[in-house]
Chain A
Amino acid sequence: MIKIERRDETSNLIYFLTPVLAIFLTLVTGAIIFYLLGFKPLEALKFFFITPISDLYGLSELLVKATPLCLIAIGLSFCFKSNNWNIGAEGQLTFGGIVGGGVALLFYNHEGFYVLPLIILAGAIGGMIFAMIPAILKIYFNTNEILVSLMLVYVSKLLLDYLVVGPWSNPEGFNFPETRQFSESARLPILFEGLRIHAGIFIALFSVFLAWVILFKTYLGFQIKVSGLSLKTAKYAGFKGKTMILLVFMVSGACAGLAGVGEITGPIGQLHRMISPEYGFTAIIVAFLGRLNPIGIVFASLIVALTYLGAETAQIFLQVPKYTGQVFQGMILFFLLASDFLLFFRIKFLGLKKYEY
C-alpha cells in the first residue's frame, strides 16, 4: 500500500533539487514526443540543447535571450511572491518598447550621451504605467488582475502594430511595417565585436542584485513575503495592502519595460511588429523555475533561453515549428509544479502485511 503524508517541514535540499528533477523529466518526455513525431530522439535533443551553444556565437545568443527573460522574471517575482498574478508582462514589455522607441525616434538624427539613458528611462516608465492599470483597477474596482493584464497584452500589441504601419513607419521604408533605424547613440553598446551580446545584460544583472537586496535585506521585502504567505497576517500586522499591490505591479512593469527597450535598443535597433517572441509569457515560467529567488532566476533564465535557441536550431535542422520551444517550456512548468508535491508530502510505501489497523 502507498500512503501519502504531509511533511512537517520541507527540506532545503529538495527545494532546490526539484527544478533539476523537473528539467530531467522534461528532457525524457521531450525525447518521447520527438520519437512519436518520427525523429530520432537523441539526435533531436542534441539539436535542441547542445548544438545551439556549442560555439561562441551560440553562447552569446543564449545571453541575448536570457537577458530579457531574467529582467522580466525578476519583476514578476515581486508580484508572485505577494500573490498578485500579473501575467501581462508581455504587454508591459511592448508598451515600454513603444514609449522608449518613441523617444528614440524623436532623436533619430541626434547623437549624444543623453539619448540612451532617456530612452531607457522612458521605457521603464512606460512599462510601469502600463502595469499600473491592472493594479489600480484591482485596488479600486476589485477586478481580476489576471484577465485585465492579459487583455492589455493584445491592446498593446495592436497599438504597436498601428504605430509601425501608420504614423511611425519609416518614410523611406517602402511601406514595410517598421520604423526608422535608431541613431547610433540610441543603441546599447555591443560587448564583443561580431557577437550580438549587448550592455543590456548589465541592467539585468543589476536588477538581480537590487532584487536580492530588497527581498532579503529590507523591511519592504519582508512585507512582500508576508503578504504572499498570508493576507490576514499582513493585514493584522498593519501592512498597507493596496500600496503593496501598486508597488509590486510597478516594479514588475518597469522591469518588463526595461526588457522591451533592451530589445529595441539592443539586438533590434528599430520598432517593428515582433519585438518580443513572447518573452513576457515565458518569463512566468522562468520566475517559477527560479523559485522566485533572484539567483535562481538567473539560472532559470539561461535554461529557458536555451529552449528558444533550441527551437530555432531544430526549426532549421529538423523542420519543426518554432513553437516547439513552448512545448518544452510548458512541460518544465508542469514537472516543476508536480515535483513540488515531494516538497510538501512524503510517499510511504507500506508492506501489505503491515497494513493493519
Chain B
Amino acid sequence: MNIDINFLGILIGAIMASSVPLILAALGELITERSGVLNLGVEGMMIIGAISGFALMVITDNLFLAIIGSMLSGLLLSFIFGFLTQSLLTNHVATGLALTIFGIGLSAMIGKDFVGIPGKQFPLLFVNLKEAIPFFGPIFFGHSIVFYFAFLLPFGTNYFLKKTKIGLIVRAVGDSPVSAANQGINVLLVRYCCILYGGAMCGLGGAYLSLIYTPQWIENMTAGRGWIALALVVFATWSPLKVLVGAIIFGGITILQLHMQAMGIRIPVQFLSALPYIMTIVVLVIISRDSRKIKLNTPTSLGQIFYKEK
C-alpha cells in the first residue's frame, strides 16, 4: 500500500512539473492582456527562450546565465511586438502571429548547432526530503528553483493586480486607456512594461523545457504549449489563481496520457495526445457560453489599438 501512495505522489509531482511552463507563460500573457494588449506570440517567445537558454548553457556552462539570458531573449522578442503594436499601431493579432512564425524559424536557425547535445543536470532542491517523506515528498520536494517560483507566482500576481497601486494602474490601462491617459497615466509606458514582462516570463517558460524538463534542444520543442497558455488565460477569465488550476489540469492530462500509453491502454496514442487540445476547446465552450461573465472579466480594451493625438 505504501508503494502505491508513493507512486501517486510521484505522479502528482510529475503533473505539477509539466504544468510549470504553462503557468509561467500564461501568467506573463495574463499581465500583458490585463493592460489591454493581446500578444499571440507566446509560442514564438517560448521557443526562443528555450533555444537561447540551452545555447547559453552549452556556451557558458553557467545555468544562472542561461536562465537570465532566456528571459532577456523573450523580452527582446516581445519588444519587437511592443514597438510594432504600441508605437507603430499595428494590428495585435497579425503582429503576434508574425512573432510566432518568426520565433519558430529563428530558434531553428540558432539551434542547428545544438541539436543532439546532451543537457546538464539542473540543481534540484530538498532532494533528501523527497525520499524521506512518503507521498508528500515527491510532490513538494526535489524540484528546481524555477518550479517553486512558478507555483508562488500566481499568488504574487494576484496580490500585485488586486492590492498594489501599480496593479491597479495596469488594470485601469487595460479597461479604459483613454480615461487612464486623462488621469495622467503614461499608457504607452505601462503597456510596454507589461509586454516586456510577458515576454520575459514566456522566455523563462521555454527555458524550463530545454534546461530542466527535458534537458536538450529539439526543433519546435514547445509543441503548441504557447497556444495552450493563451487558451489558459481565457479559461481562467484573467484571474491568476485560476491559471494555476487550469495549468495543473492540463499538465495532468499530458502526464496521464503518457501513463495510459505506458500502461498499454488500448486507445491509439494519437487520440490521447489530442486530448489536451480537445479539452481546451471544450473548456472554452463552457467558459464562453456565459457572455456576461466573460465580459465582466475581460480587459475592456483588449486587442484594441490605442492612439492618443499628441
Residues of B within 8 A of A346 (CB): none
Any B CB within 8 A of the CB of A324: yes
**Interface members, chain B 73-128 (any A CB < 8 Å):** 80, 84, 88-91, 93-95, 97-109, 111-112
B101 and A144 within 8 A (CB): no
A210 in the interface (beta carbon within 8 A): no
Question: Which of these, A161, A337, A344, contacts B270 with CB under 8 Å?
Answer: A161
Q: Is the interface of B mostly helix, strand, loop or mixed?
A: helix
Q: How far is the CA of A170 from the CA of B88 in the complex (A)?
A: 53
Q: Do B289 and A151 touch across chains, with their CB atoms under 8 A apart?
A: no
- List residues of chain B with CB within 8 A of the CB of A143: 281, 284-285, 288
> Are the C-beta atoms of B94 and A330 separated by less than 8 Å?
no
B277 within 8 A of A: yes
CB distance from B149 to the nearest CB of A (A): 27
Contact with A along B283-310 (1 / 0, CB 8 A): 0110011010010000000000001011
Q: How far is the CB of A34 from chain B (nearest CB, A)?
A: 10
In the complex, whether A111 has a CB less than 8 A from a CB of chain B is no
What is the bound-complex CA distance between A328 and B98, given in angstroms? Answer: 10
Q: Is there an interface contact between A333 and B285, defined as CB atoms closer than 8 Å? A: no
The smallest beta-carbon distance between A90 and chain B, in angstroms, is 12
A207 to chain B, nearest CB (A): 22
Establish whether residues B102 and A166, one from each chain, have CB atoms under 8 Å apart when the complex forms: no
* Complex contact B102–A334 (CB within 8 A): yes
Contact B277 A155 (CB under 8 A): yes
Main secondary structure of the interface of A (DSSP, over half): helix
Query: B interface, how many residues as a size bin?
Result: 35 or more
Residue pair B105, A323 in contact (C-beta under 8 Å): yes
Bound-state Cα–Cα, A159 to B224, Å: 16
User: Are A151's CB and B280's CB within 8 A?
Assistant: yes
Within the complex, the shortest CB–CB distance from A290 to chain B, in Å, comes to 13
Contacts of A6 in B (CB 8 A): 307, 309
The interface centre, meaning the residue of A144, A319, A324, A330 with most chain B CB atoms within 10 A of its CB, is A330
Please give, as numbers and ranges, the residues of chain A lying within 8 Å of B307 by CB-CB distance: 6
Give the distance in Å from the alpha carbon of A344 to the alpha carbon of B88 in the complex: 10
Contact present for B289 and A334 (CB under 8 Å): no
| CB closest chain-A residue, reference B234 | A144
Render B14-42 as a binary contact track against A, CB cut-off 8 A, 1 for contact.
Answer: 00000000000000000000000000100
Other A-B pairs beyond A162-B268, A326-B104, A330-B106, 18, CB < 8 Å: A6-B307, A137-B281, A141-B289, A144-B288, A147-B280, A320-B112, A323-B109, A324-B105, A327-B105, A327-B109, A329-B102, A330-B98, A330-B100, A334-B95, A334-B99, A337-B94, A340-B88, A345-B89
Closest 10 CB pairs of A and B: A330-B102, A326-B105, A323-B108, A333-B98, A327-B105, A162-B270, A337-B90, A158-B270, A330-B101, A151-B277
